[in-house]
Amino acid sequence: MHGIIFLQLQKFIKASSSPEVFSKIMDEAKLRGKFFDATKAYPDEELVAIFSTTCKTLNLDPEVALEEFGKFITPSLLTTYKPYIKNEWGCMDLLENIESTIHRVVRASNAGASPPELVITRINPAEVQIDYTSKRKMISLGIGIIKKIAEHYNEQITISKTAIPNGTRLKVSKSAKTSK
């Protein structure tokens, strides 16, 4: 997984606890003093070790924490990948282009990073369908990212979730009240 995700997870833990608790979590995850570089990729197991220790230590529900973490990382993802986001896009346009533009750039520019292969369909101007089938089972992270993207564009959305073979289908609908 991309170093940016590790760096953000460390920030997220510090923001949700204290420097002392953060050190304890890194100790228990057997990653004491480990330095993560935003331009490199690291084993998924290390992310899982830090994340699961955090949930245990702070008594957090993993799915809720994953969604919160998704919201937390979105501002920095939007800043880092800004050159690939067109000014005229709204929330639905960005969602429609996550796979063909954004995740594709992540894959091409970061050796070792492998964002999920999302199958995205623009059903109509106000609705996007996203099929997620990654082995990592991190759909709640995606839901947090989507909610924060909508907030960024000041748009109201609803998200429905259904099971598909080996994954989850999200339908993201824009509420009629928003203007973009």
By CB under 6 A, is residue 92 in contact with ligand HEM?
Answer: no
Task: Tell me which amino acid residue 57 is.
Answer: T
Q: Is 96 exposed, middle or buried (0-12, 13-18, 19+ CB in 10 A)?
A: buried
DSSP letters spanning 93-106:
HHHHHIIIIIIHHH
Query: Residue 8 CB, nearest distance to ligand HEM (Å)?
Result: 10
Site for ligand HEM (CB under 6 A): how many residues?
27
Computed from CA positions of residues 16, 18, 21, 25, in that sequence, does the dihedral angle turn out positive or negative? positive
| C-beta closer to ligand HEM: residue 106 or 157 | 106
> Cβ contacts of residue 160 below 8 Å, gap of 6+?
170, 171, 173
By CB under 6 A, is residue 134 in contact with ligand HEM?
Answer: yes
Task: Count the Cβ atoms, other than its own, within 10 Å of residue 108.
Answer: 9
By CB under 6 A, is residue 90 in contact with ligand HEM?
Answer: no
Q: Which of residues 10-69 bind ligand HEM (CB under 6 A)?
A: 41
By CB under 6 A, is residue 171 in contact with ligand HEM?
Answer: no
By CB under 6 A, is residue 142 in contact with ligand HEM?
Answer: yes
> Cβ contacts of residue 57 below 8 Å, gap of 6+?
17, 21, 24, 25, 28
Q: Which of 24, 122, 136, 171 binds ligand HEM (CB under 6 A)?
A: 136
By CB under 6 A, is residue 89 in contact with ligand HEM?
Answer: no
Which residues contact ligand HEM by CB under 6 A? 1-2, 4-5, 41, 77-78, 81, 95, 98, 102-103, 106, 113-116, 118, 130, 132, 134, 136, 138, 141-142, 145-146
